[in-house]
């Protein structure tokens, strides 16, 4: 079997103070690319995402799908930072880390004694990244917020009629990818200058600047052209939307003159007038608030003549027109375009066994992203991190466990037993 290629970020150490989704999603990208991510968690229940759905008990150990999918490939250090010794250990780890990231509320890290001013004095080369709903300065900086609040604050929800939140935590994952990009840029800057820096990522900022059609048009017009909310049809893009048929919906996207002509030809003799009608004969007139609704209605009329939307998809795809029947998650996981690109892979999770999990989308010829390991149990690596990175002895680590400075859940002591049992059954 060919040796696995090294991750692009191998040798990079990330001190991870994140929770729920935005922060853990960012550090998962770094872990998939080979970074050593040390997830710092409170003793007892660990990070909050460990209690998010779906929580199941297997072999006497409770674990959540939310945690497993977000924290695979990371190491768990469960530590009481509010003790003097716990804070001292964290500061020792800061000296040996390249990146420190949190998505706690603004001011929370400073209250713990780990604000950027303190951390920079300990390690001037560190990249210190924070993610929050509104950022660390500005009128709403002290306001609490989750993904849904950022969606509303950025106008994301308000651009559909009726107003609708995204089906995924778009504010969290979008901010996470912006954070990842900024961290990599800061590492490149450090490579050139030797200097670290602070990164302030706002979920609302990231979503606001993602506004793709309505926003630029409204601003470009000097705020005179109103931004019209989208339904399942794009307000000013046509054909571009979800069109209703007799047994479901189909997405059709033909945003070029070549694709438009192909589409009209496929629609048949009764629709050839669309090629010359002044409302539809040029790209510039099709992509307008005035004409797009007319095109949407005409296309949906045509789709409605078929017995199924699958027939429409087959017809349009044969003609080279981007189209696809709306699919559920249960359908998509077995789709060839997901399987062929290994976006679902198998992973061994302690006390659960083999599970399916998302693959990494980072397709790189020399350093591809991949699943680097299972999601850790609470405090699974508490002792290892202190001994390997800080030189603590076995007896020192045992005393810290006894005093409650560091922690591991009881199931950690059964890991060897589980591994041996799995090996014997294979």
The reply to whether 147 belongs to the active site is no
Among the listed residues 32, 172, 200, 205, the single catalytic one is 172
- DSSP letters spanning 17-60: E--TTHHHHHHHHHHHTT-EEEEEE-TTT-SGGGGSSPEEEETT
Nearest-angstrom CA–CA distance, 134 and 15: 23
Peptide bond into 239 cis (omega under 30): yes
Contact (Cβ atoms closer than 8 angstroms) between residue 24 and residue 71:
yes
- How many separate helices (H) and strands (E) can be counted in the chain? 18, 14
- Count of CB atoms within 10 A of residue 417's CB? 11
SS3 238: coil
Query: How far is the C-alpha of 122 from the C-alpha of 118, rounded, in Å?
Result: 7
Enter the DSSP assignment of 366: S
- Cβ burial of 1 (10 Å; 0-12, 13-18, 19+) is exposed
Query: Hey, which residues are catalytic here?
Result: 172
């Amino acid at each position: 079997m060919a040796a696995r290629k090294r991750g692009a970020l191998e040798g990079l150490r990330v001190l991870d103070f994140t929770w729920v989704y935005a922060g853990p999603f960012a550090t998962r990208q770094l872990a998939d690319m080979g970074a050593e991510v040390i997830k710092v968690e409170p003793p007892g229940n660990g990070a909050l995402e460990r209690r998010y759905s779906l929580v199941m008990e297997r072999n006497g150990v409770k674990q959540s799908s939310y945690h497993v999918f977000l924290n695979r490939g990371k190491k768990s250090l469960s530590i009481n930072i509010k003790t003097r010794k716990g804070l001292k250990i964290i500061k020792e780890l800061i000296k040996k880390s390249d990146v420190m990231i949190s998505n706690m509320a603004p001011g929370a890290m400073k209250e713990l004694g780990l604000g950027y001013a303190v951390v920079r004095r300990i390690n001037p080369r560190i990249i210190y990244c924070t993610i929050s709903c509104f950022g660390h300065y500005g009128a709403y900086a002290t306001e609490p917020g989750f993904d849904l609040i950022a969606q509303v604050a950025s106008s994301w929800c308000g651009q559909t009629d009726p107003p609708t939140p995204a089906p995924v935590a778009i504010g969290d994952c979008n901010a996470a990818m912006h954070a990842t990009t900024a961290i990599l840029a800061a590492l490149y800057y450090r490579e050139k200058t030797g200097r670290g820096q602070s990164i302030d990522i706002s979920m609302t900022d990231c979503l606001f600047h993602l506004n793709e059609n309505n926003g630029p048009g409204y601003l470009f017009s000097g705020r005179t052209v109103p931004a019209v909310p989208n339904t399942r049809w794009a307000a000013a893009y046509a054909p571009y939307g979800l069109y209703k048929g007799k047994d479901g919906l189909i997405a059709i996207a033909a945003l070029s003159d070549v694709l438009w002509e192909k589409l009209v030809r496929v629609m048949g003799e009764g629709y050839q007038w669309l090629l010359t009608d002044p409302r539809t004969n040029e790209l510039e007139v099709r992509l307008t608030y005035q004409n797009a609704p007319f095109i949407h209605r005409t296309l949906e009329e045509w789709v409605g003549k078929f017995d199924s939307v699958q027939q429409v998809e087959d017809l349009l795809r044969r003609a080279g027109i981007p189209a696809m029947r709306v699919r559920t998650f249960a359908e998509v996981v077995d789709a060839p375009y997901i399987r062929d690109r290994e976006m679902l892979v198998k992973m061994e999770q302690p006390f659960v066994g083999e599970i399916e999990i998302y693959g990494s989308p980072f397709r790189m010829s020399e350093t591809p992203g991949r699943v680097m390991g299972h999601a850790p149990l609470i405090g699974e690596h508490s002792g290892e991190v202190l001994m390997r990175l800080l030189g603590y002895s076995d007896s020192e680590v045992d005393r810290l466990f006894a005093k409650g400075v560091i922690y591991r859940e009881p199931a950690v002591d059964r890991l060897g037993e589980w591994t041996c049992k799995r090996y014997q059954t294979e």
